[in-house]
Chains A and B, each alone.
Chain A
Amino acid sequence: MRQINHVKHDRLYGHAHPRKLEDRDISEFSSNDLARIRGKKIGFVFQTFNLYPTLTTIANIQLPMKIHEFPESDIEETSKQLLTIVGLAERGSHFPSQLSGGQQQRVAIARALATGPSILLADEPTGNLDTKAGSEIMDVFKRLNSEGLTIVMITHDMKIAESAGRVVKMLDGKITGRTK
């Protein structure tokens, strides 16, 4: 269920080998540096969406930009664009609890893209969704991927896995097979 967390942990705290991010060893980073990197370079999409429940849809998308102190005008513009990209332009003032699971996950993807990350880490993004909502999410991913975004996604669903450019199979933390 939570393999991605271990990957993140390993990636960010560098247990096995020195890991490099943009030519810097990540073990040299302070916890605040890591927080900045997590926010700016990596976008996270979770199985349980993890939207901020007290903020509206648009405020959720704006949150990472506010954390990284983007200019106010950029924040307004980017958040509106992202909301349109995930097809929720009309839902900006809704709270997460007023949205369906698929809609919440699309907001989460918009939020993950807000700071313009180079990688999107998705931890079973379709795991809590029905097939229809799941395929909607995959459509969004395919479009983003075709525009040049790297997406690392964990899934149990082989059908979903088929749409990936590269598949690595894992069992109990060990790699058991690679395809493509």
Chain B
Amino acid sequence: MKTLDIFTLSLSHVKKSKMRSWLTVIGIVIGVAAVVAIISIGQGLQESVQANLGGLGADLIIVTPGFSRASNGFGGIGAASGNINLTDRDLNAIKQVPGVLYVNGMVSGSSDIRVGTEKTSVSISGVDTAVWRSMVTTQLEAGRYLQPGDSNAVIISNSLAHTTFLQPITLNRPITIGGKSFKVVGILVSSGGFGGGGGDNTVYMSADYARQVITTNVSRNQFTLIMLKIADSALATSIADAITQKLMPERHVNPRTQDFTVTAFASIQQQITSIVQSISLFLAAIAAVSLLVGAVGIANTMFMSVMERTRQIGLLKALGATDNEVMKLFIMESGLFGFFGGIIGIIFGILISVLISAVGLSAVVTPQLLVFALAFSVFVGVLSGVAPARSAAKMNPVDALRFEQ
């Protein structure tokens, strides 16, 4: 019997018992839709995390004072300590580490800002104006970056310019920070990028001015943070190690008394990415359980079908169909359930991810995911049909025809 004819025969069964076919297919639809939706959410999560972290720059390394022994890298950013003691000796030592392009000694803190009659508190990020421009990853919306020799010039973050005050802060607007007068020379775009040490409501100025306006006391030649840019982000981890080795004798500490933390953004990215991947995988595994339930549904339907169609199987054999052909007939039928379930499940999965995107989470549906989902559901369908099909193929035609329902 030609494969196409067997296929037509399978299809005639699927079409004839519509209710049962639909119920069987629904099991697969739910499974596939769940797998597609969850994997697309996982991929979306991964992409958005990478996009956000990508803005931080994989080629940046930060050195912060303080060291938390309980953490393994994440502590770096949060573990800023009260006693600020990174110095320009440290800065110069870091400059000598091979692979380091620029080193930016930064002074961060908070201060008051007054615009007209309004007053609020802001983060201050004091930077080395000579190198900051080469390291900042956030674009300018208006104006220019800071330059060496600027007097009383600041750059402000997007939200500070547009949303913090009733009146937006425009370029060249005089503002008062920590009692001193400044002029806005640039406004950053709003993005997940890393401007150089601060959060959303941040004013960037030269480190010297920052020392004068922030509430904490940072003496000359001291920094709260050293940020450096390296030539090759692939070497981030080894350069971070080299910096640690270089700074320890410089600061007269050993691994037990270490009082600074070196954090490569690339390694943070790797850790976060691997966490996101594990979460996605875990969720996909849960979704796969519902696909498994769908597969059991197909197997059940097919076993029922073989029972009910015993006489038809006998007839097919009496008419000359071989064991193989009978087996193919049932496997194709279960494969059809998998195929239709896969197609409809994919459509629902896409709908769910579109809905999720509309809500604000990101979900990314790739063609590879769709091909994988369809192939997998057909595979699941075929696999669940194997056992019933074998029992059908093994039937003796005489007994099968004699079978009373």
Contact = CB atoms under 8 A, between A and B. Distances in A.
A107 B325 CA distance: 24
A11 to B, nearest CB: 11
Contacts of A5: 398, 401-402
A84 B5 CA distance: 24
Contact of A54 (B16, B321, B325, B401): B16
Interface of A: 2, 5, 8-9, 31-32, 35-40, 44, 46, 48, 50, 52-55, 59, 63-64, 66-69, 111, 115
A120 to B, nearest CB: 13
A54 B12 contact: yes
Contact of B319 (A2, A9, A32, A67): A67
The majority secondary structure among interface residues of chain B is helix
11 contacts: A5-B398, A5-B401, A32-B322, A36-B320, A36-B322, A50-B311, A50-B401, A52-B312, A63-B9, A64-B319, A67-B321
Interface of A is mostly: helix
A35 B326 CA distance: 12
Contacts of A35: 317, 320-323, 397
B319 A63 contact: yes
A53 B398 CA distance: 19
A68 B397 CA distance: 17
B69 interface: no
Contacts of B317: 35, 38
Nearest to B5: A66
B318 A32 contact: no
Contacts of A67: 1, 5, 316, 319-321, 325
A35 B324 CA distance: 11
A55 B322 contact: no
A38 B323 CA distance: 14
Interface size range on B against A: 20 to 34
Interface string B1-42: 110010001001101100000000000000000000000000
B315 A38 contact: no
A8 B398 contact: yes
Contacts of A32: 322-324
Contacts of A9: 398
A44 B316 CA distance: 11
Contact of B13 (A36, A40, A54): A54
A47 B290 CA distance: 45
Contact of A2 (B12, B13, B402): B402
Given A59-B12, A67-B320, 15 more contacts: A5-B398, A5-B401, A8-B398, A9-B398, A31-B323, A39-B318, A39-B319, A44-B318, A50-B312, A50-B401, A52-B9, A54-B9, A66-B2, A67-B319, A69-B1
A32 to B, nearest CB: 5
Contacts of A8: 398
A115 B320 CA distance: 10
B30 to A, nearest CB: 27
